Amino acid sequence: MIWQFATIAALVACCGYALGFGGTTERVGAAMMVAALSLTSLALYLFGTFYQTADVAIILIDVALLAGLIALALFSDRSWPLWASAFHMVGTVTHMALLGNAVIAPIAYAHTLGLWYYLTLLSLLIGTINYHRATRALNRKQP
For 46-69, the pLDDT digits (tens) are 887 777 777 888 899 999 999 999
Residue 38 pLDDT greater than 80, yes or no: yes
Q: Show the DSSP H helices in the chain as ranges.
A: 2-21, 24-47, 56-75, 80-99, 106-141
Model pTM score: 0.88
Identify the three-state secondary structure at position 101. coil
Residue 1 pLDDT greater than 70, yes or no: no
Higher pLDDT, 140 or 22: 22
Q: Can you give the pLDDT at residue 45?
A: 85
Residue 73 pLDDT greater than 80, yes or no: yes
The per-residue pLDDT for range 77-133, each reduced to its tens digit, is 999 999 999 999 999 998 888 877 667 777 888 888 888 999 999 999 999 999 999
Tell me how far apart the alpha carbons of residues 26 and 79 are, in angstroms, rounded to a whole number. 11
Residue 109, burial from CB neighbour count under 10 angstroms (0-12, 13-18, 19+)? buried
The per-residue pLDDT for range 92-108, each reduced to its tens digit, is 998 888 877 667 777 88
Tell me how far apart the alpha carbons of residues 92 and 86 are, in angstroms, rounded to a whole number. 10
Q: Are 72 and 81 in contact (CB under 8 A)?
A: yes
The backbone region for 101, taken as left when phi is positive above 0, alpha when psi lies in -120 to 50, beta otherwise, is left
